[in-house]
Structure 1
Amino acid sequence: MSIYFLINCIIVFVCLLYSTITDIKKREVSNYITIGLLVYGTIANAIYFFLIKGYLSTIYFLMFDALVFLICYLLWKLGIFAGGDAKLFSGIAATIPILSQSIFFMGWSGFPFILSLFILSILAMFPIVSVKLLFVYFKRANIKEKVVSSLRKNFAGFVFNILYVVSLFFVFSFFTLPFWIFLIISIFLGFVSKRIRYPLSVVIFVVAVIINPSSTISVMLLSIVIALFIALMINLFVLSKSGIFNYKKRVADLMEGDLLAHNLIQDNKKLIPLKFDFWLHLKIAFKQSLKKGIKPIFELLEKRKHLYREIVINNTLAAGVSKKEISQIKKRYFEKEIELKETTPLVPSILLAYVVLIVFGDVVWLLVSLI
């Protein structure tokens, strides 16, 4: 690893570490960090490419730098990225355009470094969000009751499904039958009535225990524990989408980047939240269409079109509210508090992904090339 590349890696790491702390504490990423990183990376690499590889490589780098900046800007405008996250990605791309080697491994990557970082950052969100959801789960009694109730209601079917899949796998392994047949039968049994599937699961389990008792029981118990954890996380994710993790904040304390739980529409001269769950209404409309034809769906689409035409502030995506929108809310939203979405900062995920890539190399490219 060259000294120049190592210096850039350290600079990006320090910037990410500081930004992670501010993102967690204050939910903001400093412009001094992001813009400073962007300016430094652009100037330093333009000089480096010109001196080492010539003017043509410099032009290619500047074109790449501008393209990444434009893409990040568009993602911010679409509400997919918050402003600080978009500028941070642009700065990292300018400072480390290509990952040619890592601390422990050397190897070529077919991806631009920023693409691998983006993909791995999204993947790194899942364990971070999972930990956060588990923390909220143990902290809030009302959420705990809902999740436990849901798991209890589906527990029997859940265990029987694991029972027949694991048992069937051992039976097929013993008779060395093709895996695709196992998949087809497993899927087919999933659609069979419970009255048939449950007794059949027990029979297959008994056969599997006779064939390989220790492995069948140990794998089944492990599968149940893992599957219960996955089911818990799915329930928490579903609840998070339903708005149970939303919270209220004083309008006077609103900050740039805060994420509204609902779009705001105009009602005379004031702003009110648009509490309209389109997907829930669509589900109801589909059920009604079975009896009344397609008319309920068209009526719903027309209602949605009319309501969304009235939207004044549409900031329920990652970008959050701007200073201009906050000013408008303070003037025209007459409630003392406004409902916001509970969000998870992205910068810690970027830091985690960055460390993995710098230490172990481009694991994303490695996985893609293996596929």
Structure 2
Amino acid sequence: MVFDIPLVCTFIAIIACLYASYTDLKSGIIQNKLTFSLIGLGIVLNAVYAFMINDIWFIVTGVIFTAVIFALGYIFWKLGAWAGGDVKLFTALAALLPFYPLALSYNIWGAAFPIVSIYGFPITLIINSLLSILPFLLIYVLFIAIRRKPYLVDELLAPVKEYKKNIVLALVTTAAVSLTYVILPYLPYRTIVVSLVLIIVLSFIISKLPDMVKAVILFVFTVFALYTNIQVTVIGIVAIFLSITAIGIIRKLITSVNRKALQDDYEISDLKEGMIPAYNMYERADEVYVDDKGFFDKIKESLKNGDPTGITAPKGKLLISSMAAGLTEENITLLKKLFEENKIDPKIKIKRGVPFAPSILIGLLISLFIGDLAVILQKILYVILY
């Protein structure tokens, strides 16, 4: 019975995250009665467990971990990166599982799973949850696009329609790989990193050549690759082509489709507290303007103009922030005033809130059954590089 309490806490954590994911997806809310109850229950259960194993420091350390996670979450909340419900859910999970529960252990190719980190289970949970955001976000955006904004599907599939361009890129990469294969024996260092850098550089150079020169190079080195190993070359070209297409679709999901799928126009009069603006709003020289350019767009424009300051926030007084905390009553009053003064349009773009609880659930399951993804990636990179 002594060892059952961590297992009970594990089951409670999974069930709680399932319920939190449901309410977050349905209404965009992680209920306080859930998180506060979990915090209290976690502390009580772990206090009982500490008494049973006669280790008072177990509960003391657990409470400290819980407080640290809350403090960390509070900082993210103040920065506008997390919503209040997310902070409380992380805190509740830290109270329930301050240490690795090791509900399941197994070996793959001699490696023991789950992979444990040195900084504790609650931090592992946060890291895994953050790393789980992207795949969940892609699925969520795709769902929104198909169900509510079907016109975005055509934009999403644009990379598929650009198959001719992708074929050329695949052949350019193939030629770069073939050239690397020829050059590499003459280099003093023949590591994977050197090979990858060489492939990237050669791909860039070939892609910038005049069309006729490029065509000749592609023909010569593609034929060379086919002559060297026809099966590997054909499979490689197909794999590269599919990868380029997939990357294009993912890029669309992350950028333009993401923005359009997760933004809706609202009348100023219809705004409610907690709604998240799609962009920051600034005032400069008695004029109000919005900063609606994405980060990658800013980088691209800065590189084009040769002005790195374009990446930073625009100059001026910040009036409305697009952080996760959302609009306050004061913000809404200010927007109404600005509209009455004809300084802003009657509509403002509001971000559709992306539920974070499902990512926390995914992060929890990964943490319990696979381990710390950051540590796993570190080990993989070490094997590749050394």
Common fold by TM > 0.5? yes
Residues 48 and 124 (structure 1), Cα distance of their counterparts in 2 relative to 1, 3 Å cut? same
Question: Which residue identity is paired with 1:185?
Answer: L
Kindly state the Cα deviation for residue 20 of structure 1 after the two structures are TM-superposed. 0.6
Aligned to 1:209: 226
**Are 1:320 and 2:309 an aligned pair?**
no
Kindly state the Cα deviation for residue 159 of structure 1 after the two structures are TM-superposed. 2.9
Kindly state the Cα deviation for residue 133 of structure 1 after the two structures are TM-superposed. 3.5
Kindly state the Cα deviation for residue 74 of structure 1 after the two structures are TM-superposed. 0.8
From 246, 252, 256, the equivalent of 1:239 is 256
- Secondary structure at the aligned position of 1:304 is classed as coil
From 178, 200, 211, the equivalent of 2:190 is 178
Kindly state the Cα deviation for residue 47 of structure 1 after the two structures are TM-superposed. 4.0
CA distance in 2: counterparts of 1:324 and 1:45, whole angstroms: 42
1:76-101 CA-partner distances (Å, limit 9, x unpaired): 01111111111111110111011141
Question: Which residue identity is paired with 2:320?
Answer: I
Aligned to 1:28: 29
**Would you say the 8 A contact 1:166–1:219 is kept in 2?**
no
Question: Which residue identity is paired with 2:366?
Answer: V
CA RMSD of aligned residues (A): 4.1
From 337, 344, 366, the equivalent of 1:356 is 366
Superposition pairs for residues 34-73 of structure 1, below 5 Å? Answer: 34-73=35-74
CA distance in 1: counterparts of 2:100 and 2:298, whole angstroms: 48
Unaligned runs of 5+ in 2: 107-112
From 215, 228, 236, the equivalent of 1:219 is 236
Aligned residues: 359
Taking every aligned residue pair, what percent have the same amino acid on both sides?
A: 24
Residues 39 and 253 (structure 1), Cα distance of their counterparts in 2 relative to 1, 3 Å cut? farther
- Secondary structure at the aligned position of 1:338 is classed as strand
- Secondary structure at the aligned position of 2:275 is classed as coil
TM-score (normalised: structure 2): 0.76
**Would you say the 8 A contact 2:178–2:221 is kept in 1?**
yes
From 239, 247, 265, the equivalent of 1:248 is 265
From 157, 160, 172, the equivalent of 2:171 is 160
Aligned to 1:190: 203
**Would you say the 8 A contact 1:40–1:95 is kept in 2?**
yes
**Would you say the 8 A contact 1:172–1:182 is kept in 2?**
no
- Secondary structure at the aligned position of 2:29 is classed as coil
Kindly state the Cα deviation for residue 136 of structure 1 after the two structures are TM-superposed. 4.9
**Are 1:344 and 2:351 an aligned pair?**
no
CA distance in 2: counterparts of 1:258 and 1:236, whole angstroms: 22
Kindly state the Cα deviation for residue 148 of structure 1 after the two structures are TM-superposed. 1.8
Question: Which residue identity is paired with 1:224?
Answer: F
**Would you say the 8 A contact 2:281–2:320 is kept in 1?**
yes
Higher helix share: 1
- Secondary structure at the aligned position of 2:349 is classed as strand
**Would you say the 8 A contact 2:282–2:289 is kept in 1?**
yes
Superposition pairs for residues 126-137 of structure 1, below 5 Å? Answer: 126-136=134-144
Question: Which residue identity is paired with 2:138?
Answer: S
Aligned to 1:110: 118
1:337-369 CA-partner distances (Å, limit 9, x unpaired): 531123421111111221232234445444445
Residues 346 and 191 (structure 1), Cα distance of their counterparts in 2 relative to 1, 3 Å cut? same
Question: Which residue identity is paired with 1:37?
Answer: L
**Would you say the 8 A contact 1:30–1:84 is kept in 2?**
yes
| Residues 34-43 or 191-200, more deviating | 191-200
Residues 274 and 124 (structure 1), Cα distance of their counterparts in 2 relative to 1, 3 Å cut? same
Unaligned runs of 5+ in 1: none
CA distance in 2: counterparts of 1:326 and 1:42, whole angstroms: 39
Question: Which residue identity is paired with 2:140?
Answer: K
Aligned to 2:290: 274
Kindly state the Cα deviation for residue 261 of structure 1 after the two structures are TM-superposed. 1.3
Kindly state the Cα deviation for residue 201 of structure 1 after the two structures are TM-superposed. 2.8
Kindly state the Cα deviation for residue 113 of structure 1 after the two structures are TM-superposed. 1.2
